Structure 1
Amino acid sequence: MHQLTTVQTVYEAGSWLFTVRDQYGELEEVVLVPCEDTVEHDSTSSRPGSDDGVEAWINRCTHESQRFDTGDGAPIRNGQLICPRHGSLFDSCSGDCDNGEAAGTTLPSVNISVTHDTIYLTDDDVTFAHEGGIDEDEGPDSTSHISF
């Protein structure tokens, strides 16, 4: 279990991005988003944290792998995560999409738990790598003066 951030921080910022390493060693971005679903979930819920005001989703649309949060926060309106490429809307609490190119799909989730406003990563299939997104610019710096 790894301490991530607070529910208050997610609500104030609108979302919170972090990176995990999956069971194969690959990096994956995860976005925490506010979930204002007031429906009580039973003990068989597969979504730990879903009744605590925050959800954790893999940071990409199910259609064409477009990132939601590119480092400036995830676009959310009226409780829906918005794909910036085609405008598909995903319910921030369930991850379900019922419109656009991604209709009929559900975002892959990451298990979290909330204790006293603090959010913890509790998913056994991933390990915390770092706060923020995957650094797209990793690798050696080019010293060449040639441009394309």
Structure 2
Amino acid sequence: MAVRHRLTSVETVLEDGSWLFTVRDGRGDEEEVILVPCHDDDREPVEAWINRCTHEDQRLHREDVGAVIRDGEIVCPKHGSMFETCSGYCDNGEAADTTLVDVEIAVEDGAVYLTDDDVSFLREGGTSDDDGDEGPSSSSHIQF
């Protein structure tokens, strides 16, 4: 069983709209993970997803703006595909019929904990391999 790590509070995720952290996966690679609000009474108030569009290797959460969320969906800044915050499923655009990769978390007493046996917590925030990336060259029809 993985060591349980306290990430942040539900309140912080709800106020900020998303929260970014970095884990190490079983292959030793660093992966960014985003916490996003989930407004479904049958689920936890926060969900965790690998910070990558399923269509292309495109970050959904960027350090400068966070994740763009509209009507309960995370918007890919490059092509405009939209992923449900609670299920990770996309039913439109280039990423249609795919689902974001989830990371297991638990919410207890207003705190969010990383509980996924397949990853280990490294740090709050993103990876350090941005290489001057200033974001995607958007071909999306959605305006931010």
Relative to the length of structure 2, the TM-score reads 0.86
Confirm whether residue 10 of structure 1 aligns to residue 13 of structure 2: yes
When Rg is computed on C-alpha atoms for both structures, the one with the higher figure is 1
Confirm whether residue 65 of structure 1 aligns to residue 68 of structure 2: no
**What are the Cα deviations for residues 78-134 of structure 1, in whole angstroms up to 9, with x where unaligned?**
100000000000000000000000000000000000000000000000000000000
The match for 1:23 among 7, 23, 26 is 26
The structure that is strand-richer by fraction is 2
Measure, in 2, the Cα distance between the counterparts of 1:132 and 1:60.
Answer: 15
What is the identity percentage for the equivalent residue pairs of Structure 1 and Structure 2? 61
- 1:58 deviation in Å? 0.2
Give runs of ≥4 in structure 1 deviating > 6 Å: none
Structure 1 stretches of 5 or more lacking a match?
41-50, 139-148
Confirm whether residue 126 of structure 1 aligns to residue 119 of structure 2: yes
Aligned alpha-carbon RMSD (Å): 1.0
Confirm whether residue 88 of structure 1 aligns to residue 118 of structure 2: no
- 1:137 deviation in Å? 5.3
Counterpart of 2:118 in structure 1: which amino acid? D
Measure, in 1, the Cα distance between the counterparts of 2:130 and 2:60.
Answer: 18
Q: What count of residue pairs does the alignment treat as equivalent?
A: 127
Counterpart of 2:44 in structure 1: which amino acid? D
- 1:52 deviation in Å? 2.1
Measure, in 2, the Cα distance between the counterparts of 1:106 and 1:12.
Answer: 25
Question: What's 1:114 paired with?
Answer: 107
